[in-house]
């Protein structure tokens, strides 16, 4: 499906942008979402489920989905099934699909082979095509001080460079401590639009069969959870009823 692009000189402007934030726990996804929308929309406390928020930014309607994060050193096999389902489900929450996946990476911590493998495996859940829609968003940009992001990438070595190559060398740095700098968000939105152009105007769309399987598993798990809650409530009601009878008998 193609997106409507509005031309202003050489600039190409999308009136709507759909973004999914993805990454490991404590990478700064919520802070990044708040910076993009320009207000406190995402709770910094961790959530086990996807969170969806909207806003108007730089003459664009922005939808931001935050997917729950995985443990930084965990492989896909070590991650809970519910987490993997939420990662897959996240890209369906902004139909017909996100324009980009922002992969959140902190610049103030080392990025080693184990972290690269973890990122690769979790994004691969969405299929190989997701990489052409992915931008690496570096958070904690204030920690770079006088170091440029290019110097940081070179210093980190082959694992971070592999990741950037996988994403078509698309990256951006965000200083979440400086919300007053609107330029960094404006540049990020422009990079997202450039990514859409590189993808011939197409958004990312997950395999429909896979998505249907995820929805069915989620529905089955929700039904099991509801049944369990009903059983717990029934046991509590029985206990209260028995306690009331005991008190009545004693009286």
Which pLDDT score, from 0 to 100, does residue 248 have? 59
| pLDDT tens per residue across span 83-129 | 999 999 999 999 999 999 999 999 999 999 999 999 999 999 999 99
Predicted confidence (pLDDT) per residue in 182-204, tens digit: 899 999 999 999 999 999 999 99
Both tokens of 30, joined, read: 């919520």
Strand 60-66 to 171-173 pairing: unpaired
For 26-64, the DSSP string reads TSSHHHHHHHHHTS--S-SS--SS-EEEEEEETTEEEEE
Residues 244, 251: Cα–Cα separation, whole Å: 11
Of 89, 94, 65, nearest to 211 (Cα)? 89
Q: What are phi and psi of 204, to 5 degrees?
A: -85, 140
Distance between CA atoms of residues 185 and 46, nearest Å: 24
What confidence tier does 210 reach under pLDDT thresholds 50, 70, 90?
confident
pLDDT computed for residue 195 by the predictor: 96
Percentage of the chain beyond pLDDT 70 is: 93
pLDDT (mean) for 6-32 = 82
The answer to whether residue 209 scores a pLDDT higher than 90 is no
Average the pLDDT over 48-54 and give the result.
Answer: 94
**3-state class (DSSP) for residue 75:** coil
162 pLDDT above the threshold of 80: yes
pLDDT score of 230: 84
Residue 244 backbone zone (phi > 0: left; psi -120 to 50: alpha; other: beta)? alpha
CB 57 within 8 A of CB 38: yes
Q: Is the pLDDT of residue 11 over 60?
A: no
Q: pLDDT at position 13, please?
A: 79
In 3-state terms, what secondary structure has residue 11?
A: strand
Whether residue 19 contacts residue 64, with contact meaning beta carbons closer than 8 Å, is answered with: yes
| pLDDT of 9 | 39
* Residue ranges in the chain assigned as alpha helix (H): 29-37, 81-90, 113-124, 149-156, 158-166, 182-198, 208-250
Mean pLDDT score of the chain, rounded to an integer? 88
DSSP state of 70: B
Q: Are 62 and 14 in contact (CB under 8 A)?
A: no
Taking the CA atoms of residue 199, residue 201, residue 206 and residue 212 in that order, the dihedral angle to the nearest 10 degrees is -160
């Amino acid at each position: 499906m193609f997106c409507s692009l509005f031309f202003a000189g050489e600039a190409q402007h999308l009136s709507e942008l759909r973004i999914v934030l993805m990454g490991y726990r404590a990478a700064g996804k919520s802070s990044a979402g708040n910076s993009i929308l320009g207000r406190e929309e995402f709770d910094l406390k961790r959530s086990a489920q996807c969170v969806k928020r909207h806003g108007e930014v730089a003459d664009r309607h922005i939808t931001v989905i935050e997917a729950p994060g995985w443990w930084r050193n965990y492989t896909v096999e070590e991650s809970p099934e519910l987490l993997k389902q939420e990662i897959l489900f996240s890209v369906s929450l902004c139909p017909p699909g996100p324009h980009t996946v922002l992969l959140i990476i902190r610049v103030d911590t080392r990025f080693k082979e184990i972290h690269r493998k973890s990122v690769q495996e979790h994004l691969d859940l969405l299929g190989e095509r997701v990489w052409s829609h992915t931008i690496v968003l570096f958070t904690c940009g204030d920690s770079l001080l006088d170091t440029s992001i290019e110097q940081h990438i070179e210093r980190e070595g082959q694992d971070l460079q592999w990741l950037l190559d996988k994403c078509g060398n698309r990256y951006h740095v965000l200083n979440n401590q400086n919300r007053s700098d609107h330029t960094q968000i404006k540049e990020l939105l422009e990079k997202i639009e450039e990514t859409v152009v590189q993808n011939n105007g197409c958004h990312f769309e997950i395999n429909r069969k896979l998505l249907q399987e995820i929805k069915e598993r989620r529905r089955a798990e929700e039904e099991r959870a509801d049944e369990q809650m009903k059983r717990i409530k029934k046991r509590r009601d029985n206990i209260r009823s028995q306690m009331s009878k005991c008190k009545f008998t004693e009286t």
